[in-house]
Structure 1
């Protein structure tokens, strides 16, 4: 069982704790998180899990086997400054835009660091996570990181240069899908469906289609062709979507989000 300390006690930290406990990788009483004294919601959430939330990052760093940096990027420099003289611990950072170089410079020399990028569906055990190892992280460290984050979804290793595109695709991607679900439901309502039924059918359709792509190993284009009968309603709808640039809009969204991630990363780069 791993003793895990979280710097940050927000929604993602709460989701990860639940996943780690559910997978039998830790126990609630082995988890400690830091948050602001006035963050009553996070304090209660950790209490409900059976873990504790405190107000000192240094204590978190001294707590256990793994330290997880789970704070907003704008808060990360201040938190890292508090950890400068802390004991060396395997450190997993989910702070967006904070590079391995910045982490390794701020933490005690020789600290094994792994940069991790999960997404919000980890809240329901369906996360898509990637990680990039720092210069001091060995295979055993990587195995711990992969075991932890595989407990809340899929988890794959990438080079750090791929973190920004992954953030744009998988990190921001749920927002794009929520917009599509909302739009599909609006279409159903326009054509006479009740709002609750339209949302239920749209969400289940997206879930089912995604599961087909994941579990069949078929190319999405092949699965699309299987639905589109000659002269049918589906191919008519596909033509409409192509004419109005659905693919181009999604490709452009990932590109734009990647560039923004790179801007944030560049701004956080150590001098």
Structure 2
């Protein structure tokens, strides 16, 4: 199939993007890498009347260290994230995204805005307490990653807002593990563990509609418990869903194993 007819706007500034989206009255979409949007357009699962191309908007393609965090522009490609060494956890997670062609075109902002439950970067963002910069008609606001994701493919962004960048704190220690049927497939379970200044974060992606913090496992680690005990705490702390790729019980078992592997990864790096 082909996409339904739409008006195409090549925006030259954030202000033009926001103005165009506002004029579309909820019927506009942003095009960045297109790796998530173009397939659903082709299947006519989405029929926006206006498509706003943001690839010419300046100032959103940098990865910069700012104190104890790394600022990443919304148009930074996954391949760039995977190659940079300013934030090793982001590099590790980005390297798991799709295949080369997808990483070459896909963007940080697109991944966060699409809010796919199986995507790697949303899980990392929640684990690191990342903050996302959002531009809209009323100016610029900052939203935490935990407040950005409302459900599968749903965010708290308004129809006339766009992500311009995100700030990712640098963890003291970290680990990452993912289960997929083949490298490049959508993740069945992703585990991110990070030692932050105020304690541990244990986050699972792919198990439900949004990344899940497993606070029971975090408490075990914060209290000095072992990695094995923390992984065991995941079984009671996670609330997985079932789908055609796996049952809730399968995901619960794999969540325990992925957290165990991520913690082992963290110990090896330490």
Fold shared, TM-score > 0.5 on shorter chain: no
Larger Rg: 1
Which has a greater percent of helix? 1
Which has a greater percent of strand? 2
Q: Normalising by structure 1, what TM-score? A: 0.28
